[in-house]
Homo-oligomer: A and B are copies of this chain.
């Protein structure tokens, strides 16, 4: 008789967004006259930029003609895209990354969940708390996290690095030495980040203890301060200890287009074994390349017109972030993030729990956000608002909050 992967049974229900949806639906049904404003989930609202639309139409046409049709893509990505990535995201920032260190994928969520597969089950992972749930859940499925304690909402074999206002949301080196360290910077959900100098200390630490850093830089395009690194490879020594995950979802609005990439430097080794070769083998066996049309869309992100249009798009969302931040400050809230990231993380007032504040905001301002406790125990007492709404809705939401 076949046996299931029992690790799945350990996963607690993922109720965060479904609970939110249920509460919002219940409220809307009871109060059909109220206009809800949703600043909860991390999905974008602006359409794909014209230069990218044009590139996709062209690629669709190519697929319709025998002489320009494209079948199986190279497993690791088309050279036109890998070259554009190297030139714009790395060379331009002084990072020495080559095209065969770039692995194009269907998105950073897949990569952030799949990357753990090339590591042994006996590695100990460290994550920030609060954290993007995929890092932990994918390790649970692989059997790397021990047992779950529902009371503390923690896994016995995971090292948690609290990120709260007390440490300015900068994780500290854990007491127990981790093997794999997940860092998402600029951070989801807190919207905060660290300086390049602070990141350098993490690179030095990882090289010293022999840990590998999984560096999720999905929100890189939102960095506005000059002392923040856009890539971990701006730090010295990062190529021997870090894998970087990048997304096109937030800088180019590709949440429904699906494209991302992972950088695995050839110098990153465990003994003689190159992680670059391992990831290439994983990609070649368990993946079959991103769509040609989507890779052409990715290339257009780096065209002159694409860059100009996306700068404007990111600016649009960051204006929303500034609006939220200013509005909340004006209303007397303690607010974090929103400067180098499209997320605003606020301290709930009057010692409300995250869910109490969710209900309060839903019922009194008809604004939907995300309770911080949904991202981990140290998210309790915090609340996330996103800058990905329309400007009009964002302004209206803040007007309502200010009136409370």
Contacts and interface: CB of A to CB of B under 8 A. Distances in A.
Nearest to A8: B278
Interface stretch (A87-95, A114-122, A150-158, A376-384): A114-122
Interface stretch (A53-61, A192-200, A319-327, A355-363): A53-61
A286 B41 CA distance: 18
Contacts of A66: 45-47, 390
Given A45-B69, A47-B65, A63-B257, A117 B287 contact: no
Contact of A291 (B3, B47, B256, B284): B256
A222 to B, nearest CB: 17
The 4 A-B residue pairs with the shortest CB-CB distance, nearest first, are: A1-B210, A3-B120, A113-B286, A43-B71
B71 A48 contact: no
A47 to B, nearest CB: 4
Interface in A331-347: none
Interface in A7-56: 8-9, 11, 14, 41, 43-48, 50, 53, 56
A197 B117 CA distance: 40
A400 interface: no
Given A113-B286, A141-B285, A212 B2 contact: yes
A210 B2 contact: yes
Contacts of A48: 63-64, 69
A6 interface: yes
A253 B292 CA distance: 13
A267 interface: no
A349 to B, nearest CB: 31
Chain A contact patch, size range? 35 or more
A4 interface: yes
A6 B390 CA distance: 48
A60 B57 contact: yes
B71 A1 contact: no
Given A14-B281, A141-B282, A293-B294, 15 more contacts: A1-B179, A2-B123, A4-B273, A8-B273, A8-B278, A53-B64, A56-B293, A57-B57, A69-B256, A109-B286, A109-B288, A114-B286, A134-B286, A138-B286, A258-B291
Contact of A288 (B4, B6, B106, B137): B106
A255 interface: yes
A43 B273 CA distance: 32
Nearest to A270: B4
Copies of this protein chain in the complex = 2
A211 interface: yes
B290 A258 contact: yes
A369 to B, nearest CB: 18
Nearest to A46: B66
A314 to B, nearest CB: 16
A257 B69 CA distance: 10
Interface string A227-242: 0000000000000000
9 contacts: A2-B180, A5-B118, A48-B69, A53-B61, A71-B253, A106-B288, A107-B288, A110-B288, A113-B286
Contacts of A401: none
Contacts of A294: 291, 293
Contact of A292 (B11, B113, B257, B273): B257
A236 B390 CA distance: 52
Contacts of A110: 286-288
A73 interface: yes
Contacts of A44: 71
Given A56-B293, A70-B256, A285 B137 contact: yes
Nearest to A55: B60
A246 to B, nearest CB: 15
A186 interface: no
Q: Which of A43, A180, A282 has the most CB of B within 10 A?
A: A282
A84 interface: no
